[in-house]
């Protein structure tokens, strides 16, 4: 009975989460132009989606911005995390408080503040400002992913490596880097995700000529009915589902190993 | 080579791109277009009290609903077998990865469909462009962000502590009230922050589901910066929103007392 | 003495793997019983069956003669001291101990009295407002014991309670647990894999392996009269070697006849012979019929441990006198120190 109530509740809530998406995807197969009346089954919205130059350009922009910003953020963030760890308490707290700002602030504040900053400096908005903003909100997540790993790290391994004749640089590469690698990777993945997903910050900093997927969705859905957006949702669900399943496969195997 | 120097590039970056822009909000809030000191922007805010109050109310209601629905969901999920948990986690995270603009659009389309049905049935009822639709959209968008941290803290819970409570005579209800709930407060705290902050600052959800009549503070900021182009008033409103959020953070961060280095 | 707990024909298996195989055990009132065995022998599972955390697929759990098999843990009059304590990290020491009393809606005044009584019992006076995370392992252990005992259980279940403590602290806590048990006058069911702990603390030791009871008895019985090679090997160190019971009171092993105190095996029956390492005396080779050559010598602090090779067996001998490796020695074993076990199908190796 208890099990049944639990299952029904979960069904209900997940139903609530998936009904709108399912509806959107269902109409992506509509051969007509309406979002309410289903006139027949067709793939034409998907064909249109991939032939829409604006959307494809936005997709490319999204991927480029995400790739560059997360790589830069991961490098800067890793260096920062290592350096911050060596600071004394007071300056460390000060810098960590600044680091938390983009995490805790709503996106709109991050966007607006940087927009003000660039306009005061007279820098025109565009690709560059979007990139700078993405790096800025990505770095804190990288630092927050690596810091705990650095704290848990076994320092004696670093000393052991030097004791065995490794130079500090080699010792860092061979002893410390492997230990914090999981943190670096998860920080990088986080940055990638946040960057691809971001709408608000980009919206304030893109100016007129740059569009990412999120901003294209916003402007397109605002102005006209376009079932390409429904198709886009369908593609997104498939892509994300594949990524999530792949990401969860090793976790499953690890869990099995741990049980044994 | 001094090791801590490795972080210097980031310090510069953080000061230039995080600290200075934020200070800029404060600066602009108290100056006019020519850069002279003024309190006019702050005084103008009084016009927006209703909007702020509405934002606060909607965000509070949405967060509370997410908390209740989300805690129950996380609790149910944590009871499942390992296999089911993995599947449920994927199901929970999938919507989080789909652009929230698209998800909001999906909600709008669905409500429009309901509207059509109602019209066909001869019922004259406004489904969209009202407070309920906005709050529903907020819950729909941010529910997973509440579930995730609570679920994580439930998973971290030591099963033996629950057994210890049962062993000491606590029934299911008491185990929940006296052990599970207090031990998952950190998750609840971060869940509340993760839902409240985006809900009070949103402008997309209110725009798509509330129409023009149910503006939130985020819409006002967006207007001031991108349409009216009065960044000084925009900055003043942003400042008020920041204070509001800071207030909420202070209230709820004590729930999450896990080592947040340097926070506040 | 009456039985306070009876486990009747308990069968437990997880994922097709049998943990307890039709397990029977009676525990008498006010007894200190220890379930002893290697990890995976089912000792913790039997404890959890008594506490109610494991629902057996078959069999019954009786408490004072009443069937409590289906009773949930919170309705049982037993309390548990968990492995690694399982304290409530969100409560201080006082609230941890008061937990059970608050659940049973005990008046505030009585809670105060009882908690302070318990703090005195476990030597933690003045610690009531401490955060449990700040306590040492030994102190956390005391809180866990007080938290269980404050509810006046008739039986206290202890699941390897000292495993996480260091050796010195463990010795101290062993004495303290014994004192508490005497003082409270209740039954303790204690689970451990440490044979020394089991032998020093218990009234009764239950040796388990693979979900089956190997032997039940007083510590002396278990040590001196192990019923099978597993028990002999698990409890203390032993030389276990094949021999032949020639007739009552006469056994032959390693080609030498020894008088012994055992009888009733029949004539010319293959048996296992157990001799403890400290029960073998070193003599000159010409004085004894059983000879061997010393292979290795290790100093163990209070004695030397020597490995001595005879015709077909490598002996372990503990002695305060030392012989260099390569020395030929004679070994003297008096009849009282020779323990004969019947060969068992499956267990002998």
Q: How far is CA C73 from the centre of its chain?
A: 25
pLDDT digits (tens, 9 = 90+) for B187-234: 998 899 899 999 999 999 999 998 878 889 999 999 999 888 888 999
Contacts of A12 in chain B (CB under 8 A): none
Q: What angle do CA C230, C161, B178 make, to 5 degrees?
A: 135
Q: Tell me the average pLDDT across C227-245.
A: 88
Residue of A nearest to B204 (CA): A218
Q: Which residues contact C152 (CB under 8 A, 6 or more apart)?
A: none
Q: Is C11 helix (H, G, I), strand (E, B) or coil?
A: strand
Domain residue spans of chain B: 31-253
Chain B residues in contact with C55 by the CB 8 A cut-off are: none
Which of the listed CATH numbers 3.40.50.300, 3.40.50.720, 2.60.40.1120, 2.60.40.10 matches domain C3-229? 3.40.50.300
What's the CATH number for C238-342?
A: 2.40.50.140
Residue count of chain A = 260
Per DSSP, the three-state class of A38 is: coil
pLDDT tens column, C164-176: 888 888 888 899 9
pLDDT for residue B256: 58
Of B164, B171, B182, the CB nearest to C90: B182
Q: In which residue ranges of chain A is pLDDT below 70?
A: 250-260
Q: Identify which has the larger pLDDT, C137 or B255.
A: C137
What's the rounded Cα separation, in Å, for the pair B163 and B181?
15
**pLDDT tens sequence for chain B (264 residues):** 456 688 899 999 999 999 999 999 999 999 988 878 888 888 888 888 899 999 999 999 999 999 999 999 999 999 999 889 999 999 999 998 888 999 999 999 999 889 988 998 988 888 888 899 999 999 999 999 999 999 999 999 988 999 999 999 999 999 999 999 999 998 998 899 899 999 999 999 999 998 878 889 999 999 999 888 888 999 999 998 988 888 888 877 766 554 444 443
The pTM for the full model equals 0.83
Q: Which of A193, A213, A248 sits opposite B86 (nearest CB)?
A: A248
* CATH 2.40.50.140-classified regions of chain C: 238-342
CATH 3.40.50.300 domain extents, chain C: 3-229
Average pLDDT over residues C80-103: 92
Nearest-angstrom CA–CA distance, B47 and B215: 13
Query: What structural domains and CATH numbers belong to chain A?
Result: 59-228 (1.10.3720.10)
Total Cβ atoms within 10 A of residue A208:
8
Instruction: Please report the pLDDT score of residue B44 as a whole number.
Output: 85
pLDDT tens by residue, C111-124: 999 999 999 999 99
Please enumerate in sequence order all residues whose Cβ is within 8 A of that of B121, keeping only pairs 6 or more positions apart, or say none: none
Reading the block at residue C206, the tokens are 């239950």
Residue of B69, B98, B221 with shortest CB distance to A108: B221
Among the listed residues C253, C250, C248, the one whose alpha carbon sits nearest the alpha carbon of residue C266: C248
Going by pLDDT thresholds of 50, 70 and 90, the confidence category of residue C1 is: low
CA separation for the pair A135, B13 (Å, rounded): 10
Helix (H) or strand (E) holding C290: strand C290-299
Contact by Cβ (8 Å): A128, A68: no
Which of B159, B169, B254 to mutate to test binding with chain C, by most C CBs within 10 Å of its CB?
B169
- Nearest residue on chain A to B253, alpha-carbon basis: A104
Closest chain C CA to residue B177: C103
The pLDDT > 70 percentage for chain C reads 98
For C179, left (φ over 0), alpha (ψ -120 to 50), or beta? Answer: alpha
Model pLDDT, residue C15? 84
| Residues in a beta bridge with C306 | C297, C317
pLDDT of residue B259: 41
Q: Which of C15, C73, C114 to mutate to test the interface with B (most CBs of B within 10 A)?
A: C73
Does domain B31-253 fall into CATH 1.25.40.10?
A: no
Judging contacts by C-beta atoms under 8 Å, the chain B residues touching residue A49 are none
Which among C100, C51, C91, C95 is positioned nearest to C71, based on CA atoms? Answer: C51
User: pLDDT value at position C346?
Assistant: 43
By DSSP bridging, strand C204-209 and strand C32-36 are: parallel
Alpha-carbon distance of C143 to B42, in angstroms, equals: 57
pLDDT of residue C348: 37
Strands (E), B107-246: none
Contact B168 C74 (CB under 8 A): yes
């Amino acid at each position: 009975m208890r099990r049944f109530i639990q299952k029904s509740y979960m069904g209900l809530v997940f139903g609530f989460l998936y009904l709108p998406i399912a509806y959107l995807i269902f109409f992506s197969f509509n051969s007509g132009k309406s979002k309410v009346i289903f006139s027949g089954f067709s793939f034409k919205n998907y064909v249109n989606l991939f032939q829409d130059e604006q959307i494809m350009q936005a997709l490319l922009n999204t991927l480029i911005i995400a790739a560059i910003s997360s790589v830069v953020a991961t490098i800067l963030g890793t260096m920062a995390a290592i350096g911050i760890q060596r600071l004394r308490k007071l300056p460390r707290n000060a810098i960590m408080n600044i680091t938390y700002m983009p995490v805790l602030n709503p996106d709109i504040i991050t966007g607006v503040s940087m927009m003000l900053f660039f306009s005061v400096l007279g820098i025109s908005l565009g690709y560059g400002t979007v990139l700078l903003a993405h790096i800025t909100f990505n770095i804190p997540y990288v630092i927050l992913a690596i810091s705990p790993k650095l704290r848990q790290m076994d320092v004696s391994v670093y000393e052991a490596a030097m004791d065995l004749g490794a130079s500090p640089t080699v010792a860092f590469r061979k002893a410390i880097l492997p230990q914090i690698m999981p943190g670096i990777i998860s920080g990088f993945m986080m940055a990638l995700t946040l960057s691809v997903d971001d709408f608000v910050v980009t919206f304030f900093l893109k100016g007129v000529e740059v569009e990412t997927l999120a901003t294209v969705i916003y402007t397109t859905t605002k102005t006209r009915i376009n079932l390409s957006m429904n198709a886009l949702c369908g593609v997104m669900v498939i892509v994300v589902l594949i990524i999530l399943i792949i990401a969860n496969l090793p976790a499953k195997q690890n869990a099995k190993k741990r049980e044994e | 080579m001094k090791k801590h120097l490795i972080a210097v590039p980031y310090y510069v970056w953080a000061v230039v791109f995080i600290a200075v822009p934020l200070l800029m909000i404060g600066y602009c809030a108290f100056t006019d277009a020519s850069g002279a000191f003024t309190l006019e922007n702050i005084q103008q805010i009084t016009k927006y009290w209703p909007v702020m109050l509405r934002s606060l109310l909607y965000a509070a209601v949405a967060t509370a609903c997410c908390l209740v629905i989300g805690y129950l969901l996380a609790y149910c999920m944590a009871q499942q077998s390992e296999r089911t948990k993995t599947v449920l986690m994927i199901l929970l995270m999938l919507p989080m990865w789909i652009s929230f603009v698209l998800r909001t659009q999906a909600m709008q389309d669905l409500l429009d469909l309901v509207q059509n049905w109602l019209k066909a049935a001869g019922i004259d009822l406004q489904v969209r462009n009202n407070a309920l639709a906005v709050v529903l959209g907020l819950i729909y968008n941010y529910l997973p962000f509440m579930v995730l941290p609570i679920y994580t803290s439930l998973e971290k819970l030591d099963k033996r502590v629950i057994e210890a409570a049962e062993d000491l005579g606590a029934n299911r209800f008491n185990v929940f009230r006296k052990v599970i709930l207090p031990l998952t407060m950190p998750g609840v705290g971060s869940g509340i922050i993760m839902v409240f902050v985006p809900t009070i600052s949103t402008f997309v959800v209110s725009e798509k589901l509330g129409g023009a009549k149910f503006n939130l503070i985020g819409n006002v900021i967006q207007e001031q910066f991108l349409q009216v182009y009065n960044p000084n008033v925009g900055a003043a409103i942003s400042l008020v929103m920041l204070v509001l959020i800071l207030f909420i953070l202070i209230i709820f961060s004590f729930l999450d007392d896990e080592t947040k280095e340097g926070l506040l | 003495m009456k039985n306070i707990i009876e486990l009747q024909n308990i069968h437990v298996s997880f994922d097709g793997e049998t943990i307890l195989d039709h397990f029977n055990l009676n525990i008498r009132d006010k007894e200190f019983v220890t379930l002893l065995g290697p990890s995976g022998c089912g000792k913790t599972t039997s404890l959890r069956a008594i506490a109610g955390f494991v629902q057996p697929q078959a069999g019954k759990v009786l408490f004072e003669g009443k069937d409590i098999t289906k009773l949930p843990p919170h309705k049982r009059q037993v309390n548990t001291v968990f492995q690694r304590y399982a304290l409530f990290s969100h409560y201080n020491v006082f609230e941890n101990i008061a937990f059970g009393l608050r659940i049973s809606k005990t008046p505030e005044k009585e809670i105060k009295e009882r908690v302070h009584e318990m703090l005195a019992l476990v030597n933690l006076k003045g610690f009531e407002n401490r955060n449990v995370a700040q306590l040492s392992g030994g102190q956390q252990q005391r809180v866990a014991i007080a938290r269980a005992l404050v509810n006046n259980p008739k039986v206290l279940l202890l699941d390897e309670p000292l495993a996480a403590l260091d050796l010195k602290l463990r010795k101290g806590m062993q004495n303290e647990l014994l004192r508490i048990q005497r003082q409270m006058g209740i039954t303790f069911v204690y689970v451990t894999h440490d044979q020394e702990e089991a032998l020093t603390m218990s009234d009764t030791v239950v040796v388990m392996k693979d979900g089956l009871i190997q032997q039940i008895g007083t510590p002396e019985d278990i040590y001196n009269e192990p019923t099978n090679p597993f028990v002999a090997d698990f409890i203390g160190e032993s030389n276990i070697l094949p021999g032949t019971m020639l007739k009552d009171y006469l056994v032959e092993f390693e080609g030498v006849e020894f008088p012994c105190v055992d009888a009733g095996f029949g004539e010319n029956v293959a048996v296992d012979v157990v001799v403890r390492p400290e029960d073998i005396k070193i003599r000159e080779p010409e004085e004894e019929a059983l000879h061997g050559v010393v292979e290795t010598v290790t100093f163990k602090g209070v004695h030397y441990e020597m490995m001595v090779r005879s015709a077909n067996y490598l002996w372990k001998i503990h002695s305060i006198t030392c012989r260099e490796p390569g020395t030929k020695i004679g070994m003297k074993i008096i009849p009282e120190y020779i323990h004969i076990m019947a060969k068992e199908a499956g267990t002998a190796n």
